[in-house]
Amino acid sequence: MNIKAFSEISGIPYRSVQNYLRNEREPNVEALIKLKETMNIDINWLLTGEGKMYRSLPNDELEAKEQALINHYRMMSNDTQTAFDVSFKALSEMQK
């Protein structure tokens, strides 16, 4: 994922992400919360490097393949997401 896509998905300004990657600035609390909410990243892992990178969902842990699908979806443009949603719905209805 490039910086622009990461910035768009996470809601963290492009310039801030660049500064984090260059070790010129540390993420603030707001940025950490955005990462937790949009990327499902465990804040403890970000701060300490301990534990799992991704938070588990209540009663259901995503497999790597499912997480990759979600990450790809989040990188799509809005128009592509809409087309994907329509196609997925049609495929799902065919299974019934």
Does residue 60 have a pLDDT over 60?
no
Does residue 56 have a pLDDT over 80?
no
User: What does the alpha-carbon distance between residue 32 and residue 55 come to, in Å, rounded to a whole number?
Assistant: 13
Q: How far apart are the first and last CA of the chain?
A: 35
- What percent of the chain clears pLDDT 90, i.e. is strictly above it? 32
pTM tops 0.95:
no
Which whole number is the average pLDDT over 6-13? Answer: 91
